[in-house]
Amino acid sequence: MTVTTPDRPQVAPESATATTTYREAVREAIRAAMRADDRVFLMGEDVGRYGGCYAVSMGLLEEFGEERIRDTPLSESAFVGAGIGAAMAGMRPIVEIMTVNFSLLALDQILNTAATVLHMSGGLFNVPLVIRMATGGGRQLAAQHSHSLEGWYAHIPGLKVVAPGTVEDAGGMLAPALTDPDPVLIFENALLYNREGPAPDPERPVDLVHAAVRRPGRDVSLITYGGSLHKTLEAAEALEQSGISAEVIDLRVLRPLDTETVLASVAHTHRVVLIDEGWKTGSLAAEVIARIGERAFYDLDVPPARVCSAEVPLPYAKHLEEAALPSVERIVAAARKVVGGG
């Protein structure tokens, strides 16, 4: 099996309108950050000449040169560790890891150092490092290439974990991530790279603090993030057709969680479904439900529900993979059940 460049597109022509793709939004955010700040540099596997395995950094080598768009040896632990060291010594590195599955080779660096050095140095050394990686399934890349482990990372105090689900966030979250003194992990769901949407507006910067209400509603709160956001919005649309008004909350920031926005939504819908591409057991969905249980138990009219990935290594075959991932149909069904309509 050759594992190379899933859905690697041609470079899209410069768009004159205010819409762009998720991929281009990330690229332009990197470009803007590098133009604005000499301390910012990008490193990772194939980020230079090749333009990144999802073509995010295409064209940046030409503008910024090899020092600042740095192709590294195949060494996840090394380039994450070196990014940490560089961040402690005054730089603002952006490290790209091909996918979350391969970030596991750098887990020691991320957990034992990036997330602990501030504590271990009594506040002296921040690690202002940004690590970007692709996550998620749906591209038939099978069991070692498709997982959604952002919930694991959100387990770790000391890390900020974000999952841009919109084009605006894909581009907008990088700048605040780079100015954040703490290490920030950005999870880019690989199915989103080709998605088009309104471009980030420099006049309206986004934050790394709040969840967003992507669609207001009355009857049920559908809480999700990242790659599941669009499926959830589609499900909300379908529910609307049958008279169910669903509110869609995009968590955006998986750590620290914006519990208040979640609770505010539950307080007026009284019903909740979590949609999370991670595995159900020990998932981020479980954490959100636990928080609702702790602080808003009596706001709930019915027990909460979850739509997560099947608890299996992600299958290779298309229809089997689809069966394993959250789908619009499963979200609609779960919402109907919670609302009492099905």
Nearer to other proteins, 123 or 243 (CB): 123
| 200-225-100-144 Cα dihedral, nearest 10 degrees | -130
46 sits near other proteins (criterion: CB under 8 A): no
158 sits near other proteins (criterion: CB under 8 A): yes
Which is nearest to 226 in space by CA: 279, 164, 283?
A: 164
CA distance 125 to 313: 38
| 219 SS3 class | coil
126 sits near other proteins (criterion: CB under 8 A): yes
The phi, psi pair for 169, rounded to 5°, reads -70, -35
Which of the residues 194 through 223 are near other proteins (CB under 8 A)? none
CB of 108 to other proteins, least distance (A): 6
42 sits near other proteins (criterion: CB under 8 A): no
Partners of 185 in beta bridges? 131, 161
Measuring CA to CA, how many Å separate 105 from each of 72, 179, 225?
15, 26, 25
CA distance 246 to 275: 13
The one catalytic residue among 24, 45, 76, 188: 76
145 classed as catalytic: yes
Which residue is it, tokens 């169910």? 244
28 classed as catalytic: no
Among 69, 84, 199, 233, which residue interacts with other proteins (rule: CB under 8 A)? 84
CA distance 246 to 263: 15
Among 13, 14, 17, 124, which residue interacts with other proteins (rule: CB under 8 A)? 124
82 sits near other proteins (criterion: CB under 8 A): yes
243 sits near other proteins (criterion: CB under 8 A): no
CB of 74 to other proteins, least distance (A): 9
Which residue is it, tokens 């692709």? 134
Q: CA neighbours within 13 Å on the CB side: how many for 150?
A: 36
Which is nearest to 225 in space by CA: 120, 318, 150?
A: 150
The one catalytic residue among 145, 147, 230, 270: 145
Which is nearest to 175 in space by CA: 211, 136, 201?
A: 201
Among 81, 151, 200, 315, which residue interacts with other proteins (rule: CB under 8 A)? 81
91 sits near other proteins (criterion: CB under 8 A): yes
120 sits near other proteins (criterion: CB under 8 A): yes
Tokens for 25, please give them: 């939004």
Among 112, 144, 179, 242, which residue interacts with other proteins (rule: CB under 8 A)? 112
Amino acid at 154: A
Among 9, 59, 157, 282, which residue interacts with other proteins (rule: CB under 8 A)? 157
Of 17-25, 153-161, 213-221, 333-341, which part binds other proteins (CB under 8 A)? 153-161
Which of the residues 50 through 79 are near other proteins (CB under 8 A)? 67, 70, 72-73, 75, 77-79
Tokens for 182, please give them: 């703490």
Q: Which residues are catalytic?
A: 76, 145
Residues that bind other proteins (CB under 8 A): 38-39, 41, 67, 70, 72-73, 75, 77-91, 93, 108-109, 112-113, 117-126, 157-158, 160, 180-182, 256-257, 259-260
